[in-house]
């Protein structure tokens, strides 16, 4: 069991890590491991969005131990199974969190040789993980669509809490420091987390070394994008993958249900564009001020041009 292959699927939260991770976990010989460094994950990782370094969440000598735990699915003690920021569900009260449940299912399949580690909370680990034997898939969504999702759900990111550690790891950022005191605004907090998720990949020249999947790629050709990714990773599609990709998607406006974090039947085009209904002019100006220097580097200039051409 210790020799299982480990593939990380990460990105800023709300950037399609869940559908990408779910699809990869349906491949032949693969199992899913859900957010083991997140709020209901490993107890010894106490900081949100841990980084590698003294007092940053994972000490330099602990990264190898983390990889071993995840490859072998021997997680040990977990944090409390009810998230602190949400009321416990009946399922979590009875069966534990999705982290625990996914680990149990994976342990029951010792013949599965690939562990799909789905975890947006691991995005700050990517510059260190690319030098290990972990394959890394990074998802990215436009920062304006990302911020609209946070605003719809009423979420605020932990950007203000994370920034001091982030600056020690990756260096100070003038843009972050100009806005970090305004994180009570959920749009600003989302845009800052987007910047803090992807700027290290640019600053450390890591982006070319990961498998990047953008929401624009999925909109242009979902099936082609996924099958190209499977080919790059050496994974084999199953009938479950085919059924997932064959499912009809619908065009829809932004959901008004703040409790509904995922709508599996909405088209990628509608997910990419509902920011136009959700963000105010002031919101969009803040997102642009925080992310416009990075967005073309991560997503390509066409994404910004399409936004600017929107009615």
Comparing 162 with 269, the larger pLDDT belongs to: 162
pLDDT band at 310 (very low <50, low <70, confident <90, very high): confident
Q: What is the pLDDT of residues 56-94, one digit of tens each?
A: 999 999 999 999 999 999 999 999 876 656 555 655 555
SS3 249: coil
d(CA 4, CA 71): 5
Q: What is the pLDDT of residues 188-242, one digit of tens each?
A: 999 999 999 999 999 999 999 999 999 999 999 999 999 999 999 999 999 999 9
Q: What is the pLDDT of residues 246-266, one digit of tens each?
A: 876 655 545 545 445 555 566
Residues above pLDDT 70, as percent of the chain = 89
pLDDT at 231: 98
pLDDT at 34: 96
pLDDT band at 288 (very low <50, low <70, confident <90, very high): very high
SS3 6: strand
d(CA 245, CA 223): 6
Q: The whole model's pTM is what?
A: 0.92
CA 283 to chain centre: 22
Closest listed residue to residue 191, CA positions, set 173, 207, 204? 173
Return the H-helix or E-strand segment holding 193. helix 186-203
| Cβ atoms of 71 and 115 closer than 8 Å | yes
- Could you tell me the sign of the dihedral formed by the alpha carbons of 118, 123, 125, 127, in that order? positive
| Cβ atoms of 279 and 144 closer than 8 Å | yes
pLDDT at 86: 58
- Could you tell me the sign of the dihedral formed by the alpha carbons of 150, 155, 161, 165, in that order? negative
Provide φ and ψ at 78, rounded to 5°. -110, 160
pLDDT band at 96 (very low <50, low <70, confident <90, very high): confident
Q: What is the pLDDT of residues 120-167, one digit of tens each?
A: 999 999 999 999 989 999 999 999 999 999 999 999 999 999 999 999
Closest listed residue to residue 47, CA positions, set 172, 201, 158? 158
Q: For the residues 5-33, what does the mean pLDDT come to?
A: 97
Q: For the residues 11-24, what does the mean pLDDT come to?
A: 96
For the chain, domain boundaries: 5-306
CATH number of 5-306: 3.40.50
pLDDT at 83: 60
pLDDT at 2: 59
């Amino acid at each position: 069991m210790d020799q299982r292959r480990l593939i990380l699927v990460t990105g800023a939260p709300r950037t399609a890590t869940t559908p990408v991770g779910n699809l990869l976990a349906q491949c032949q010989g693969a199992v899913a491991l859900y957010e083991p460094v997140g709020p209901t994950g490993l107890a010894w990782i106490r900081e949100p969005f841990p980084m590698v370094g003294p007092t940053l969440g994972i000490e330099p000598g602990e990264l190898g131990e983390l990889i071993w735990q995840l490859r072998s699915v021997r997680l040990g003690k977990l944090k409390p199974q009810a998230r602190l920021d949400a009321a416990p569900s009946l399922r979590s009260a009875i069966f534990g969190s999705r982290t625990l449940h996914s680990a149990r299912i994976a342990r029951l399949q010792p013949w599965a040789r690939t562990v799909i580690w789905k975890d947006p909370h691991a995005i700050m680990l990517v510059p260190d993980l690319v030098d290990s034997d972990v394959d890394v898939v990074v998802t990215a969504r436009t920062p304006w669509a990302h911020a609209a999702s946070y605003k719809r759900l009423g979420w605020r990111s932990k950007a203000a809490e994370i920034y001091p550690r982030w600056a020690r790891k990756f260096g100070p950022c003038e843009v972050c420091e100009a806005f970090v005191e305004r994180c009570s605004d959920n749009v600003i907090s989302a845009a800052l987390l987007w910047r803090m998720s992807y700027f290290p990949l640019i600053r450390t020249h890591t982006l070319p070394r990961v498998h990047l999947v953008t929401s624009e790629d999925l909109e242009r050709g979902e099936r082609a994008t996924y099958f190209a990714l499977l080919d790059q990773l050496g994974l084999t599609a199953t009938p479950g993958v085919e059924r997932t990709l064959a499912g009809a998607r619908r065009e829809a406006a932004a959901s008004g249900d703040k409790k509904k974090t995922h709508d599996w039947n909405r088209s990628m085009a509608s997910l990419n564009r509902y920011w136009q209904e959700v963000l105010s002019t002031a919101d969009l100006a803040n997102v642009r001020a925080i992310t416009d220097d990075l967005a073309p580097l991560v997503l390509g200039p066409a994404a910004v041009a399409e936004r600017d051409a929107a009615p």
